[in-house]
Amino acid sequence: MEDAYARSVTEVLDFFGVDPTKGLNDSQVAQHARLYGKNVLPQEKRAPFWKLVLKQFDDLLVKILIASAVISFILALINGETGLTAFLEPSVILMILAANAAVGVITESNAEKALEELRAYQADIATVLRNGSFSILPATELVPGDIIEVAVGCKIPADMRMIEMLSSQLRVDQAILTGESCSVEKELESTTAMNAVYQDKTNILFSGTVVVAGRARAVVVGVGTNTAMGSIRDSMMQTEDEVTPLKKKLDEFGTFLAKVIAGICVLVWIVNIGHFRDPSHGGFLLGAIHYFKIAVALAVAAIPEGLPAVVTTCLALGTKRMARLNAIVRSLPSVETLGCTTVICSDKTGTLTTNMMSVSKVCVVQSVQHGSVIAEYNVSGTTYAPEGIIFDSSGMQLEFPAQLPCLLHIAMCSALCNESVLQYNPDKGNYEKIGESTEVALRVLAEKVGLPGFDSMPSSLNMLSNHERASYCNHYWADQFKKISVVDFTRDRKMMSVLCSRNQMQMMFSKGAPESIISRCTNILCNDSGSTVPLTDSIRAELELRFQSYAGKETLRCLALAMKRIPLGQQILSCDDEKDLTFIGLVGMLDPPRDEVRNAMLSCMTAGIRVIVVTGDNKSTAESLCQKIGAFDHMVDLTGRSYTASEFEELPPLQQTLALQRMALFTRVEPSHKRMLVEALQHQNEVVAMTGDGVNDAPALKKADIGIAMGSGTAVAKSASDMVLADDNFATIVAAVAEGRAIYNNTKQFIRYMISSNIGEVVCIFVAAVLGIPDTLAPVQLLWVNLVTDGLPATAIGFNKQDSDVMKAKPRKMHEAVVTGWLFFRYLVIGAYVGLATIAGFIWWFVYSNEGPKLPYHELMNFDSCSTRETTYPCSIFDDRHPSTVSMTVLVVVEMFNALNNLSENQSLIVIPPWSNMWLVASIILTMLLHILILYVHPLSVLFSVVPLSWAEWTVVLYLSFPVIIIDEVLKYFSRNSSGLRFNFRFRRPDLLPKRELRDK
């Protein structure tokens, strides 16, 4: 029944055909079970394991690599190769792909946990009226129409419509669903609000929420997926994980690269068709196979096999650094996504605030001797911890607050007129509440005021254990006064009272809404002398004015405290006793903002990141908080900056679009609104980070580009998020954004490094094929260079230091290419030099080396016809492994120098020297040691088809390699100083990677 909140109790009961005094009978239960289904959230069908595995290989570059591995293996068998050499290259490729697939499968498996965690919020049992009698049944057996009884501490087992109040009031904590900072009072009357959100449905008890005060009966109106919890589950199931900006760019680059590689491979094969019949190949078909093998080697050279591993490693390093900042990353790609975040949609309760009600102001009457004087005290401390200081209006600390009569009696009343519990949880290391948050705030105030008559009181309290300290003063007053009778809070009186006795004296303490308490007071307690004097109209007006200021401008939740002497011997307290009270004081409390949030807001504004506060709370309370933390940027007129969900939905589409661009506060929201907000912002090309801690936040957390859950939040929110804030602090997000930006910059650096290296390998093989000289590098040598000698320095580039101005730049755009046109030109130049230097080393050995044959260059170009001609040298010279070893070593060394170029995109090595990143220096040393190892250790040298080099050959290697530093320094100089030249060098399109919208046409 979807509109039960708008129907009367009788209409709802008639709809289900249930008698409220007897409940459903067995036949009705069976009928309703068939009609409405079970009260469980069904398990989702998981994708089979084999599908998850296959999904990891659904990538064009991966497919090319698999094809290369298979073809390489087939060609090896055709050529008669057996043993290790035939299997080495395809085995290495497949091992890399298997490792990447394993990481992907694990990540996707973790994503399913959020939906499982949701079931933990379902109640286990319920007190149900059936066949005229109450019994306790499993909550899963409930059906619509069941009559349920709930009381304090009960978890609501299904969505239910209130039908009968069994106490003066019923209050429910529904923060996990709506994000409201206070518990909500429930009532029997039907709701008349149009487009009612969860907060407006005051007669509905929502599944998974908890009763904190009172007792009542209700009829079940929704079970399983037809509950508020069920709608959240459906929303989460419909939400697909967003691909991160870096992943999008890498995918686009991979597709672009794959097409280029395929084109070059075909081109190389076609260019050499004339050589298919060369005698050295033994026939046209074998010649075609030979050059096809070269094309496969070219594919292996062009594809950066180590790129996924290096990206993963760099992101993993970032997660370790972020963990030290209390940001626990659950999804590696989200580390980078933080760097381009443009909007942070922040939950208010628990993220910007502490989610712990605390008394911040106390107002008492100081004296009436020379006209009424109102005294105001400020109270520090924003959590449930009994630690805080009371200051007077001038900012001076009160050494012994309990010596002041009004503060002393406020502490008594707060401790005695109270049904809550404050306790210390050693497992979590913090103080926790049981009951109403406002009542717990009064208990904490009593602890901060302390006890009278002990000069050593403050220091003595500090010596107690946390468990003893939690309620030491409250327990003292409970021991001093014996509770005799209680008059519970009711909606019409808006107050509660408790009768206590002590030393042959009976006293009634009352607390409640200021308008109710002050109207019943005839006297006031003076704070200077402790005397009781009559309450005049002028004092009453001044107190009401102060209350209006607290509740209005400062949006504090106010309670007034009062007391009254009761004749000795009276055992029962009634509402008639609640008159002629003596006013003690007024307390103002709030869910206070975190201390660090204001500076974090300023950092976001400086970094070009907009913050939108999203909350289920009412508009005025949220606006007051936003002004305190600077979310409105000191604006007085909030028109167009603050909207409730219903106000926003009533706007025409065009005005909604404009509102999204200026909005800073979104109030009275429910889960669907949060998800809608994220989607709307994403349609405006914003990169959205969403924070939250409740079950209600889970769909939006999953939909956002990066979902950020609170460490103290629900398991559902954590499982649906990409990152968890261990300290629940909004300021931690800002530090994480800076880290994300630095990681992206480093990611770009090593991607460029690997691209330029691979371009060099492609140039080397392509030029060798075009010139008609022997194979410069064997496929296994290319794999060694790509995996080991490229991989280690590329990973070390991830340790480049964060720029000092990283949070002063505006967020990068979603469509910004990883490699722009000018940069690609730069790395084409570098790559071309790498490839030509590699070829030069190969040719040098044949033509100029004293250890080589010193052949004329044209002989080298016509090596294919060696066996058919008279030569002064043996044809076996072309099978010598020296030239390919020189080429491979040149390739390795030139890439080590190129790694140094990538310490910074545009800064010279003179400004940022190599030792600024000692990890890079160490990786270069380790890489060279590994390369020397395969050159000079016999089994390895055979495996990689290399031989030891002489000192003369090493000298040539260094001569050919070092100029890459000089070339890049020149290009960096132009990047820094000649923007005009940079634009002249750009391609027609401003970036290399194909635009998604162009590809989709």
Give which of 127, 120, 122 is closest to 148, Cα–Cα: 127
**CA-CA distance, 409 to 414, in Å (whole number)?**
8
Tokens of 283: 């026939």
**Model confidence, pTM:** 0.62
Q: Tell me, what's the pLDDT at 46?
A: 59
The whole-number pLDDT of residue 100 equals 60
- Cα→Cα distances 831→828, 988, 990, Å: 5, 21, 20
- Which tokens go with 647? 């106000």
Distance CA 472, CA 386 (A): 10
- What positions carry a catalytic annotation? 347
In this predicted structure, what is the pLDDT of residue 84? 56
What separation, in Å, do the N-terminal and C-terminal C-alpha atoms of the chain show? Answer: 46
Mean pLDDT, consecutive 10-residue stretches, the chain (1001 aa), reads 86 92 91 87 62 66 69 67 59 66 55 43 74 88 92 86 88 76 82 78 88 89 84 63 61 71 77 71 72 70 62 70 78 72 85 84 88 87 89 90 94 93 86 85 94 69 86 93 89 89 93 93 93 92 90 85 93 91 94 82 86 85 83 73 89 90 87 86 89 77 85 70 80 81 76 78 80 77 72 77 69 69 80 91 87 80 71 76 90 90 79 84 91 87 84 92 91 70 40 36 35
Q: What is the 3-state secondary structure (H, E, C) of 650-664?
A: HCCHHHHHHHHHHCC
CA angle 981, 984, 989 (to 5 degrees): 135
Answer CATH for 249-318+747-801+812-977 from 3.30.70.980, 3.40.50.10320, 1.20.1110.10, 3.40.50.970 = 1.20.1110.10
Degrees, nearest 5: CA angle 126-132-138 = 20
Q: Are 479 and 486 in contact (CB under 8 A)?
A: no
CB 841 within 8 A of CB 768: no
Whole-number pLDDT of residue 159? 92
Res 82: pLDDT: 58
Q: What CATH fold (topology level) applies to the domain 9-43+122-238?
A: 2.70.150
Q: Determine the pLDDT at residue 111.
A: 40
Give 618's DSSP letter: -
pLDDT of residue 297: 64
Burial of 596 (0-12, 13-18, 19+ CB in 10 A): middle
pLDDT at 414: 96
Write the DSSP string, 366-421.
EE-BTB-EEEEEEE---SSSS---EE-TTSPBPS-GGGSHHHHHHHHHHHHS---E
Instruction: Report yes or no: 722 and 331 within 8 Å, Cβ to Cβ.
Output: yes
The owner of tokens 């686009």 is 252
**Orientation angle between helical segments 437-449 and 405-416, nearest 10 degrees:** 140
Q: Which residue, among 946, 831, 846, has the nearest Cα to 891 in the 3D structure?
A: 831
Q: DSSP assignment of 196-245, as one string? A: --GGG-TTEEPTT-EEEE-EEEEEEEE-GGGSHHHHHHHHHHHPPPPPPH
SS (H, E, C) 283-304: CHHHHHHHHHHHHHHHHHHHCC
CA 818 → CA 43, 813, 829, distances in Å?
Answer: 40, 11, 18
Continuous segment of H or E residues that includes residue 101: helix 84-111
- Look at the domain 327-353+594-726 and name its fold: Rossmann fold (3.40.50)
Are the C-beta atoms of residues 993 and 249 closer than 8 Å to each other? Answer: yes
Q: Where are the domains of the chain?
A: 9-43+122-238, 249-318+747-801+812-977, 327-353+594-726, 377-585
Angle between helices 730-771 and 821-847 (to 10 degrees): 40
| CATH of segment(s) 377-585 | 3.40.1110.10
Give the pLDDT confidence score for residue 103 in this predicted structure: 56
Report the relative pairing of strands 147-151 and 482-487 from DSSP bridges. unpaired
Q: What is the pLDDT of residue 994?
A: 35
Do the Cβ atoms of 105 and 53 come closer than 8 Å?
yes
CA gap 666, 618 in Å, rounded:
10
Distance CA(512)–CA(583), nearest Å, equals 12
